Structures are given as structure tokens and as C-alpha cells.
């Protein structure tokens, strides 16, 4: 079996499906078929003995049954070896079919006079079970089914051809047999086609579910990696739970809370350590890591002034020879004569193997891609085993995919029909009901578009019964009228079921008839209406199968059978020939088949209908109308040398045995169909849930990514064929940068038992920042991009939405028009802070600095990636804030001129000293925030 499912080369879906189909669905049916045949053979012996027949007087019958018992027992023992069945499926199926066919022909010529109606029901059983219970393909099953039909017709035609003139006409009987066999073949093809279609759909859904589960696992790991790349694990879990609740609530809205505050994710940490360590930390490590001295000139000015020796921890994954080569210090090796400290630290981080940010989102071959076709990809790699280690890169995660054979075989095992008899978390093994009441209700209320095909095939059975009755009877007027009325009822049913296909024709007619096409969908979606129509259809077929008997008296009134020459001795009162009696039994068998054609009908309803029909048929032919069989036997066995017929030749006994055989066979198939209908529903539901969960996870990942990166930058890292070494960066000619701080918050913040060690102070800051962020969702501020917060300082920018080079192609006035948006955003920040002050009884004020000009934007960081902007414009904007005045907006002279061109008024503050820039002339913007400011000299 392992060789059969070898992952190299990738096996085709057909091979997997055929193996699954044979082993999981047809294998138990084959065993049950053999058991049913053995039980039927034993029942024949029991009935022969119970009816007082001497078994020794009919050695042909006895030898045939005993040989069949031995042969089918051997076949059952051979089929019980599942591994052999897998290799020899077709030869074993051929043996079973050949044995059944030989048994049928053996029954034809044992037990008495050979008649045209002999063993028709048994051959019908062979034909139908070839399609429904043998592990054969459609072509092989059809060839076997039609070969069985032709063999019966050919043998009886050749044997009964030179019959005496006193026998009933042979041609109508053979024609009736042909109709019966054709109906059996069509019903078998119909049953096998629908079941194979359902099974293949279930198989594909199982593979799709497995692939969807793989995508879901992959998305969860990517999401986990993304979260952990942004936040510590404990904060990531809390934020993930809230975002999931927000997504489930819909449209990203905040879930209802019992308080009026935004969510706050804080935790106090004790003993925080870094890679750059002091001598005290080195002592605590106790030699666990190798370190090297940090060059004094490259350290922070504070550490330099303090004179405290510090150390850098060496990467423990470095090669031994590299460690020896760094004896003089890694920094001194990389340094070079004029290497800048920033470049030196970058080289140092690269030596630790820092990953590129969002590398896993740039692979078009990522398992997250929805374009992965089934089944090849799904069959070759099912089970990604992702590591949760934060030190691993996303690329490392992709390298841990395995073939997933174990998971595939787990799915195959879940599809095995033998599971229906075992304890399951989904099904009740006795009733097959879903354990979840809601799922059971949903299953029973689910739509069934295929109901129209069930009704159409049942109409075919009804039509076959009609043709048979017309062939073997003298076509009495009452029978013709009854069939005509029933025929009209079936046409009405088919019109209702297929009315949707008549939409174009109906719409061309009167408006009062435009509702007719909705009848089809009404039947498909209303379970109660479907059950009613289905039950009525089956009962119609049942009743019409025995309609001809209703025109006969119930008391025994056989005609005079002493005259051999008279053809009238073959007719019953009511102008019905005696040969119509066995064909009425065959029509009853077709009635059993009609019940099995409704594949999605519940098992308990099928059981009830089959029991009802079994009881009605047996009581009819074994009790109330048993004399009809006696009349036929009396007519066939006239001479004194003719002995009593065997069990196989007595219509009422053979008919009753056929009823029981079909009852148990169709009961087994009904149980099997019920299980697979429910299994198909279960897999579809699981697949739908997993796809929804996968979609939720993908949306969550996208939401997280868009919270880390601007909306116009995030697509650069989703589904793009970008190389890992390509870092995202973009240059802009005109960007307005905002720094807005709350200097009073530093004095407000304190740590004490009253405010829970500063927690309440942070909660207030969180409310301020969260309210500021809410402004970004307003359409008029869609061009404002929040960069970051530093303590109580809020950094944002406008003009980052334009593509590279776009600003340079436009005039200055138009390219800097977004400065007005930033001013309005700044005013809105002040208004938000006023509202918070009112409710918190504080008097916080903003200190704002604005500047505009060229910047470079990009994504920096590996384990903690962040979108940021750089340039002199950013530095000057920061200085405008740090040197500003509470409640005012300080801008540079260039920015003041640009704002004046947009209609704003600025007045000069004067020349001030700016760190790193020298003496600068700055201005205050005249807005609502600066009403109290003196209208000093303005520009222009």
C-alpha cells in the first residue's frame, strides 16, 4: 500500500480516488453482497425443507445450491483479505459476477418446467448489484449488466423457441423480460452515476478541506510571526483576541465593552536586559555567552561620560573559526578607517542573520496562495509543520513543508464507510444522526436540486411497469384507464420538478403564469414538500405494479385446466392470462427499486416504505391471491409423470424470496447512501467553515499588516514577486511632517499604589492616542499617515500617497496642497484633546511643529519592522516641536509661505536657536489653537 501511495512521482487523482472508492465504499458492499447471497442460498434450503419437499428428489437443485454455498464461501474468504482485494479488485469482481450468472442459469434448469419468466427477478438482482455493489468502473459494470440481460434472453429464446402451440406466446414474454432488464440496467447506471458523482465530490471536498486546513495552518503561522515581529507574545495574544472579536462583529468596529475606555495593553517588566550589556549583567550570565568589548567611541554619549565598561554578546550560532577570527573584536574587524557607527551597527546586526521584513509575504509560491491547483499540489504536500520559534525566519518556515502522507491517509480513513458502524464524534452509529442538533436540523432543511432527477427515474420505472402490463395482459379497458390517470399525475409531477427549464417559454405567455418556474425551486428547497411528493411517487409505483390483480376475484376460481388444446385455459376471469401473475411479481420488484432511486431520502423513511411494500407484497401473493400461483402451477404440470415443482419454480415462493432478497439488499444500500449523503454534507460544512476561517485569518493578517504599514505600502509586500534582498523605499519631493507632543504629560505621570504603578496614567495617554487615531478613519483625513508615537509625541505625515516622481511633475502650489489637510488634522487633534481635558479634569495642551519638504520613506527592521521616514525635513519638524510653545503650531519660513498661499495666516516668532541647524526664523500658524497669540508680523 505504501508503494501505491508513493509521493514520487506525484500520483494522479484518479489513482487515489479509485483506491479510496474500492476500499472505503465498495469493499464493504462486496462483502455484504456475498453475505446476502449465502443467506439466500441457506433460505432456499430452509424453505424447501419447510414446504415438505424431498431434497433428494431434486438432486440438480441440491447440487447447485451446495456448490454455490462452497463457491461463494470461498469468494467471501478471499474478499475478506483487504490487501488482496486492492490488487485484484477487477478479477475478484469478475469472479463474483460470473458465479452469480452461473448460479442464475443453474436455477433456470433445475426444479421443474422451464418458463420464460423463470429467474427474471434473480437476473434483475444480478444486474442491479453489478452496478451498485461490485467495485467496477461504469464501463465494466455496464458490460456485465447488459451481458447478463442478453444471456438470459438468448438462452431462453433458444431453449423455448420450439415450444408447442399450447404454450403462451414466447415473444411478448421475452419482450417483457427485455423491458425489465433494460429498466434494471438504467436504474443501475443511474444509481452508480449519482453515487460516483457524490463520492467523487466528497473526495474532492476532503482534499480541498485538507488543502484549506494546510492554508489555514500556514496563515496562522504567518500571522503569528507577523504579530510576534511587532509585539511581545503576551500583548500579541490579547490584541489578536480583540481583533478577531472585532472582525466577527463586522466592519472592524470595536466590540461592546462594559467601560468607556479603549483597550490598554500594558505590563510591568522587571529586570529587562539587552544584547548590549554592562559588567553587572555579564557577571549574571556566568559565562553562558561569549562577549567582546564595545568600542568606547561608538557608544552612547551617556555611557561614554559614565565610563562604565560595556560588552556586546557574540552570536552563539557563529562558526568556531569565526570566533577565533574575532579575537581582536568584531567591531574592529568591520570598522575600517572611516566607517560610520550606524553602518557598523548594521553590519553587526547582519552578522546575526537578521531576516528581511515580511519576507514570507513576497513569495508567489507561498502555500497561502489561493491559486494552488488541486489535486496535484494537494496530493504531494499536505502537512506543513511550522516552527513557533521566533528566531526562525519566514523563509525557514517554508523550508519545513513535508509530504503529509499521514494526514492524507487519515482523511482516507475518515471517508471509509466502515466508520459508520463505529463510535464517532460526528454521527450516532445506530441512527447516523448528527450529534449536534443544529447540524441535524440544517442537514434536513438543506436544498436538494437533484430531486427532479429522482422523480424522472421513478417515472421510467412506472413506464416500464406499464409496458410490461400491456405486453403480458389482454389490455383490459379498466387497466388502461387507471394507467392513463396515473400517467397524467406523473406528467404533472415532472412539470413541477422541471418547471425552471421552461422559464423562457412561460415568460412569453400571460403574466398570470409567470409564477410557474418557481415551483421547481420550491420543491428543491422545501423538505416537507419533497418528502410528500417522493412518498406519493413511490406509492404510485407500488400500487400500479399490482393494479392488474385488483380486477380479479379474491377467492380461488381457477379455470378448467384439463383441456390441453384450449388456449382459454391460460386465461383468468377478467381476461388476464396466467402468465401475468409472475410478471406482476417482477413489477413489484421494480417497485422495490423505485424506493432506492431517491438517494437523499432519509433511511428511516426508506425503511418504512420498504417494510410496507414487503408486507403488502407477501400478504398479497402468499395469502389473498396465492391461488393465482396454484392455478399457474396446475396449468404447467398437467401430466401424471410431472412431479411437484421445486421451490425455484413455484411463483409465490420464489417471488417471496425475491422480495426479501431485494428488501435486505436495498436496505444495505439505503444505509450506505444515507451515510455518504451525511458525510458529503459534513465535509462541505467543514470545508465552508475552514474557508471562512482561512478568509478571516487572511483578513486579520492583512489588517495587522496595514496597521504596521500604510495602505499604499502594504500591497508591496502581499503577493508581489519581490526578492528578499529588495528593501522597500520611496522618495517624495513634498511631504508635510507633523510632531505633536503633550509636554505636560511628563509631569502628570507618576507611579504609586493609588494609580496602580502608573497604569491609570498610561490609560489616559492611551485614550488620547486612540482618539487621535480615530481621526485617521475620517475621509477628509485619508491622506494623513500616522508614522509612530514616541512617548506622548504623535508623529504623522501627509503627501505619502503620491507615486514617485509625481510631485516633481506638478507645480509647487498643487504638490503642497496637502499641507492644508495637515493643518486641519492638527486643529482636530487640539479639539480631541479639549474633550479629553473636559472629561478628565486636566489641562493638557499640544505643542506642535510642522515642516514640509523632501523625505525618503521605507520599511526598516527585521524582527521589529516599522515604516518610517527620514530626511532633513523630518529633523527640522522635530526641532519645530521641541522648540515650540504650548498651544501653538510652529513652522519654518518655507512652510509658512506655502501655508499662506493656501489661505492661512502666519505671524513671525523671530529667530531662535535650533540644535543642529543654527539660527532659524520660525513662525506661528494662526489657527483656533492660537487664538490667544499676539498677531505679530505676518508674511508678505
Q: How far apart are the first and last CA of the chain?
A: 89
Phi, psi dihedrals of residue 21, rounded to the nearest 5°: -65, -45
- With H, G, I as helix, E, B as strand and everything else as coil, classify residue 571: strand
Give the span between the Cα atoms of 624 and 577, in whole angstroms. 18
3-state secondary structure of 849: strand
As a 3-state breakdown, the chain gives helix, strand, coil percent values, each rounded to 5, of 60, 10, 30
> Quick check: helix, strand or coil at residue 137?
coil
Angle at Cα 656 formed by Cα 653 and Cα 662, nearest 5°?
140
DSSP character for 24? I
Distance between CA atoms of residues 813 and 821, nearest Å: 14
Options 84, 688, 746, 915, the catalytic residue = 915
Closest to 201 measured CA to CA, from 676, 666, 642, 615: 676
Question: Running DSSP on this structure, what letter comes out for residue 802?
Answer: S
DSSP 853: E
User: From residue 67, how far is each of 118, 121, 335, 909 by CA, in Å?
Assistant: 21, 21, 96, 116
Of these residues, 786, 879, 888, 909, which one is catalytic?
Answer: 879
Q: The dihedral of CA 219, 224, 225, 230: what is its sign?
A: positive
Catalytic, 879? Answer: yes
CA 396, CA 723: separation in Å to the nearest integer?
15
Write the Ramachandran bin of 307: left for phi over 0, alpha for psi from -120 to 50, otherwise beta.
Answer: left
HEC assignment per residue over 318-355: CCHHHHHHCCCCHHHHHHCCCCCHHHHHHHHHHHCCCC
Q: Rounded to an integer, what distance in angstroms lies between the CA atom of residue 544 and that of residue 466?
A: 8
Nearest-angstrom CA–CA distance, 207 and 651: 51
CA gyration radius for the chain? 43
867 pairs with which residues across the strands?
Answer: 859
**Which of these, 595, 588, 594, 589, lies nearest to 609 by C-alpha position?**
595
What amino acid positions are annotated as catalytic residues? 879, 915
Amino acid at each position: 500500500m505504501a508503494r501505491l501511495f508513493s509521493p514520487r512521482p506525484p500520483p494522479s487523482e484518479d489513482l487515489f480516488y479509485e483506491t479510496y472508492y474500492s476500499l472505503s465504499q465498495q469493499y464493504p458492499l462486496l462483502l455484504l453482497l456475498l453475505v446476502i447471497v449465502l443467506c439466500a442460498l441457506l433460505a432456499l434450503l430452509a424453505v424447501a425443507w419447510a414446504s415438505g419437499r424431498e431434497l433428494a428428489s431434486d438432486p440438480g437443485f441440491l447440487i447447485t445450491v451446495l456448490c454455490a454455498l462452497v463457491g461463494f464461501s470461498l469468494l467471501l474468504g478471499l474478499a475478506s483479505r483487504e490487501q488482496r482485494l486492492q490488487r485484484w479488485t477487477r478479477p475478484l469482481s469478475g469472479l463474483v459476477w460470473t458465479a452469480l450468472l452461473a448460479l442464475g442459469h443453474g436455477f433456470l434448469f433445475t426444479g421443474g418446467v422451464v418458463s420464460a419468466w423463470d429467474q427474471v427477478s434473480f437476473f434483475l438482482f444480478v444486474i442491479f448489484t453489478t452496478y451498485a455493489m461490485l467495485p467496477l468502473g461504469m464501463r465494466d459494470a455496464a458490460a456485465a449488466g447488459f451481458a447478463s440481460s442478453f444471456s438470459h434472453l438468448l438462452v431462453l429464446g433458444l431453449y423455448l423457441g420450439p415450444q408447442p402451440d399450447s404454450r403462451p406466446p414466447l415473444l411478448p414474454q421475452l419482450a417483457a423480460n427485455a423491458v425489465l432488464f433494460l429498466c434494471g440496467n438504467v436504474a443501475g447506471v443511474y444509481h452508480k452515476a449519482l453515487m460516483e458523482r457524490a463520492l467523487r465530490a466528497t473526495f474532492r471536498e476532503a482534499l480541498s478541506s485538507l488543502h484549506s486546513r494546510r492554508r489555514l495552518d500556514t496563515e496562522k503561522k504567518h500571522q503569528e510571526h507577523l504579530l510576534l515581529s511587532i509585539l511581545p507574545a503576551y500583548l500579541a495574544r490579547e490584541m489578536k483576541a480583540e481583533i478577531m472579536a472585532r472582525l466577527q462583529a463586522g466592519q472592524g468596529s470595536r466590540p461592546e465593552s462594559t467601560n468607556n475606555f479603549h483597550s490598554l495593553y500594558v505590563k510591568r517588566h522587571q529586570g529587562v536586559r539587552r544584547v548590549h550589556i554592562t559588567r553587572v549583567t555579564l557577571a549574571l550570565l556566568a559565562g553562558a555567552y561569549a562577549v567582546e568589548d564595545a568600542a568606547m567611541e561608538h557608544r552612547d554619549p551617556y555611557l561614554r561620560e559614565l565610563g562604565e565598561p560595556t560588552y556586546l554578546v557574540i552570536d552563539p550560532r557563529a562558526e568556531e573559526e569565526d570566533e577565533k577570527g574575532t579575537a581582536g573584536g568584531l567591531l574592529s574587524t568591520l570598522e575600517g578607517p572611516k566607517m560610520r557607527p550606524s553602518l557598523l551597527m548594521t553590519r553587526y546586526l547582519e552578522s546575526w542573520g537578521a531576516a528581511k521584513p515580511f519576507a514570507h509575504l513576497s513569495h508567489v509560491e507561498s502555500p497561502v496562495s489561493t491559486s494552488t491547483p488541486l489535486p496535484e499540489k494537494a496530493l504531494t504536500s499536505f502537512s506543513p509543520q511550522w516552527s513557533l520559534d521566533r528566531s526562525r525566519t519566514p523563509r525557514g518556515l517554508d523550508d519545513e513543508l513535508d509530504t503529509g502522507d499521514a494526514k492524507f491517509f487519515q482523511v482516507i480513513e475518515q471517508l471509509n464507510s466502515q466508520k459508520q458502524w463505529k463510535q464517532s464524534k460526528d454521527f450516532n452509529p445506530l441512527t447516523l444522526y448528527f450529534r449536534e442538533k443544529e447540524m441535524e436540523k440544517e442537514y434536513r432543511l438543506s436544498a436538494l436540486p437533484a430531486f427532479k432527477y429522482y422523480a424522472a427515474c421513478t417515472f421510467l420505472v412506472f413506464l416500464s411497469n406499464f409496458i410490461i402490463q400491456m405486453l403480458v395482459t389482454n389490455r383490459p379497458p379498466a387497466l388502461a384507464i387507471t394507467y392513463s390517470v396515473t400517467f397524467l399525475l406523473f406528467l404533472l409531477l415532472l412539470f413541477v420538478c422541471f418547471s425552471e427549464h421552461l422559464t423562457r417559454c412561460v415568460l412569453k405567455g400571460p403574466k398570470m403564469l409567470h409564477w410557474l418556474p418557481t415551483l421547481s425551486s420550491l420543491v428543491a428547497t422545501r423538505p416537507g414538500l419533497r418528502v410528500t411528493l417522493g412518498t406519493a411517487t413511490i406509492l404510485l409505483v407500488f400500487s400500479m405494479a399490482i393494479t392488474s390483480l385488483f380486477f380479479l376475484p379474491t377467492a380461488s376460481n381457477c379455470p378448467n385446466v384439463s383441456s390441453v388444446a384450449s388456449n382459454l385455459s391460460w386465461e383468468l376471469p377478467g381476461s388476464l392470462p396466467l402468465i401475468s401473475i409472475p410478471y406482476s411479481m417482477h413489477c413489484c420488484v421494480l417497485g422495490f427499486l423505485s424506493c432506492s432511486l431517491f438517494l437523499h431520502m432519509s433511511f428511516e423513511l426508506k425503511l418504512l416504505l420498504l417494510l410496507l411494500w414487503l408486507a403488502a407484497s407477501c400478504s398479497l401473493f402468499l395469502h389473498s391471491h396465492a391461488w393465482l400461483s396454484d392455478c399457474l402451477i396446475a396449468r404447467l404440470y398437467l401430466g401424471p409423470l410431472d412431479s411437484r415443482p421445486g421451490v425455484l419454480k413455484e411463483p409465490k415462493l420464489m417471488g417471496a424470496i425475491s422480495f426479501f432478497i431485494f428488501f435486505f439488499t436495498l436496505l444495505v444500500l439505503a444505509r450506505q447512501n444515507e451515510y455518504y449523503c451525511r458525510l458529503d454534507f459534513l465535509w462541505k460544512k467543514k470545508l465552508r467553515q475552514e474557508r471562512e476561517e482561512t478568509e478571516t485569518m487572511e483578513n486579520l493578517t492583512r489588517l495587522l499588516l496595514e496597521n504596521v504599514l500604510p495602505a499604499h505600502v502594504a500591497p508591496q509586500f502581499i503577493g508581489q514577486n519581490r526578492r528578499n534582498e529588495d528593501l522597500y523605499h520611496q522618495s517624495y519631493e513634498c511631504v508635510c511632517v507633523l510632531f505633536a507632543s503633550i509636554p505636560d504629560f511628563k509631569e502628570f505621570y507618576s507611579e504609586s499604589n493609588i494609580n496602580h504603578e502608573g497604569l491609570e496614567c498610561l490609560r489616559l495617554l492611551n485614550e488620547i492616542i486612540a482618539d487621535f487615531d480615530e481621526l485617521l478613519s475620517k475621509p477628509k483625513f485619508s491622506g494623513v499617515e500616522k508614522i509612530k508615537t514616541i512617548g506622548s509625541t504623535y508623529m504623522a505625515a501627509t503627501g505619502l500617497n503620491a507615486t514617485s516622481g509625481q510631485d516633481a511633475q506638478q507645480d509647487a502650489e498643487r504638490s503642497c496642497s496637502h499641507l492644508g489637510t495637515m493643518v486641519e488634522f492638527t486643529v482636530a487633534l487640539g479639539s480631541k484633546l479639549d474633550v479629553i481635558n473636559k472629561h478628565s479634569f486636566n489641562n493638557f495642551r499640544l505643542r506642535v511643529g510642522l515642516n514640509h519638504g523632501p523625505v525618503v520613506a521605507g520599511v526598516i527592521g527585521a524582527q521589529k519592522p516599522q515604516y518610517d521616514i527620514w530626511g532633513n525635513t523630518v529633523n527640522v519638524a522635530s526641532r519645530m516641536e521641541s522648540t515650540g510653545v504650548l498651544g501653538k503650531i510652529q513652522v519654518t519660513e518655507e512652510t509658512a509661505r506655502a501655508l499662506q498661499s493656501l489661505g492661512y495666516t502666519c505671524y513671525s516668532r523671530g529667530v531662535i536657536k535650533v540644535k543642529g541647524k543654527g539660527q532659524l526664523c520660525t513662525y506661528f500658524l494662526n489657527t483656533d489653537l492660537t487664538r490667544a497669540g499676539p498677531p505679530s508680523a505676518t508674511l508678505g
